[in-house]
């Protein structure tokens, strides 16, 4: 089960509170100020499409995709379960984004008449990038036929482009709010210090805050170890002795885990042995590697008469084991 620190839990709760506030504000704007979304054609169908656009793009696209990003930080269970939930939520967000753009371009004026502003350009680019990102994520991380090495290379780009696309979606929504509010104020339909202006401005602030919190949670450390255990630790990359006797250094190109051991200072002052197994880039557990043992380069623990050899039993999970002498 995932270990969530108090600070991480606080960020998650703050992200949920921000998302809830954004949802309430956009619902209030769409339901209580319908006249602001009334098109010049005064068609009931166009009014419905005009109301659906902000609801789908904010609640369906931004809020759901943000929740999909946070899945890996709070959802317990296996990695496959987390990936399936993440993929499903992102697919739902993509569907909402595509339908949200369709509602905007479905009016009688057509696509060309609506494709003129920076907001519309950024919206099309954002949804297109989101769709490509979802497809690459499906093929690279969920399809069982993909090679692990390919997933290792794609993962950093997948994470970066995912967060970039999410940030771009928030910025696109901000440009849409500015464009809509400026148009309404110019036409004299909305007072500059009126209730609707306050709601729209609050929605913009809420989106900016939500985007920052979601990205902060996504890049924050997943697990936290007490400082008393990690301050005196000097992490070292060891050489793994394979079954054929050849030594190979652990790297990103391998399916082995990076093994870190505490320094000689920790052994001398605390008389304990701690072995920390870290998974590289949150990879899945590979098949049992052909590893006999790990040679410990430091001095022998108290009472040992031969060089210490720490046996490695796959699969390795993130763990901390200590033995007091």
DSSP percent split of the chain into helix, strand, coil, nearest 5: 60, 10, 30
| pLDDT band for position 309 (cuts 50, 70, 90) | very low
pLDDT at 111: 61
| pLDDT band for position 207 (cuts 50, 70, 90) | very high
Query: pTM of the full predicted structure?
Result: 0.65
| pLDDT band for position 229 (cuts 50, 70, 90) | very low
Whether the Cβ atoms of residue 161 and residue 218 lie closer than 8 Å to each other: no
pLDDT > 90: percent of the chain: 36
Q: Running DSSP on this structure, what letter comes out for residue 283?
A: P
| pLDDT band for position 40 (cuts 50, 70, 90) | low
Residue 27 has pLDDT above 90, yes or no: yes
Rounded Cα distance, 226 and 232, in Å: 11
Pairing of strands 247-249, 258-261: unpaired
Residue 195 has pLDDT above 60, yes or no: yes
**CA within 13 Å, CB half, 282:** 16
pLDDT at 119: 93
How many CB atoms are located within 10 Å of the residue 164 CB? Answer: 14
Rounded Cα distance, 62 and 196, in Å: 21
How many CB atoms are located within 10 Å of the residue 320 CB? Answer: 13
More confident residue, 68 or 36: 68
Tokens of 51: 């109301």
Q: Running DSSP on this structure, what letter comes out for residue 294?
A: E
| 236-274 tens-digit pLDDT | 333 343 344 444 444 433 333 333 333 333 333 333 333
pLDDT at 160: 92
Residue 292 has pLDDT above 70, yes or no: no
Alpha carbon distances (Å) from 182 to 51, 104, 190, 201: 18, 18, 9, 11
Q: What angle do CA 207, 210, 212 make, to 5 degrees?
A: 110
CA dihedral 124, 130, 135, 136 (to 10 degrees): 120
Q: What is the mean pLDDT of the chain?
A: 72
pLDDT at 37: 83
pLDDT at 311: 44
More confident residue, 151 or 217: 217
248 forms beta bridges with: 240
Rounded mean pLDDT, 207-211: 96
Residue 201 has pLDDT above 60, yes or no: yes
Buried b (16+ CB within 10 A) or exposed e, 67-99: bbbbbbbbeeeeeeebbebbbebbbbbbebbbb
Residue 310 has pLDDT above 50, yes or no: no
How many CB atoms are located within 10 Å of the residue 109 CB? Answer: 13
Residue 57 has pLDDT above 90, yes or no: yes
Among 119-123, 127-131, 260-264, 295-299, the range scoring the smallest mean pLDDT is 260-264
Rounded Cα distance, 206 and 210, in Å: 6
3-state secondary structure of 59: helix
Residue 30 has pLDDT above 80, yes or no: yes
| 128-168 tens-digit pLDDT | 999 999 998 887 766 665 566 777 777 888 889 999 999 99
Residue 29 has pLDDT above 90, yes or no: yes
């Amino acid at each position: 089960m995932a270990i969530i620190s108090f600070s991480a839990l606080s960020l998650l709760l703050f992200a949920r509170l921000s998302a809830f506030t954004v949802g309430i504000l956009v619902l209030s704007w769409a339901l209580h100020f319908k006249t602001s979304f009334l098109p010049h054609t005064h068609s009931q169908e166009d009014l419905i499409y005009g109301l659906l656009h902000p609801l789908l793009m904010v609640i369906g696209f931004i809020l759901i995709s943000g929740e999909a990003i946070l899945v890996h930080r709070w959802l317990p269970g296996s990695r496959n379960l987390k990936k399936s939930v993440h993929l499903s939520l992102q697919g739902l967000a993509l569907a909402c984004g595509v339908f949200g753009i369709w509602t905007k371009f479905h009016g009688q004026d057509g696509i060309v008449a609506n494709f003129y502003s920076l907001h519309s350009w950024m919206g099309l680019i954002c949804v297109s990038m989101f769709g490509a990102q979802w497809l690459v994520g499906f093929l690279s991380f969920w399809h069982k036929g993909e090679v692990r090495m390919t997933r290792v290379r794609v993962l950093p780009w997948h994470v970066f482009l995912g967060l970039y696309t999410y940030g771009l979606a928030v910025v696109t929504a901000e440009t849409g709010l500015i464009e809509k509010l400026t148009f309404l104020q110019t036409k004299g339909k909305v007072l500059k210090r009126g209730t609707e202006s306050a709601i729209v401005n609050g929605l913009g602030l809420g989106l900016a805050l939500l985007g920052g919190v979601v990205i902060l949670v996504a890049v924050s450390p997943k697990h936290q170890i007490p400082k008393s255990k990690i301050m005196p630790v000097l992490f070292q990359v060891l050489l793994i002795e394979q079954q054929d006797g050849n030594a190979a250094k652990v790297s990103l190109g391998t399916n082995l885990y990076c093994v870190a051991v505490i320094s000689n200072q920790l052994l001398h002052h605390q008389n304990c042995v701690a072995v920390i197994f870290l998974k590289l880039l949150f990879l899945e557990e590979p098949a049992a590697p052909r590893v006999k043992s790990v040679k410990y380069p430091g001095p022998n623990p108290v009472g040992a008469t031969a060089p210490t050899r720490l046996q490695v039993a796959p699969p390795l999970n993130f763990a901390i084991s200590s033995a007091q002498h």
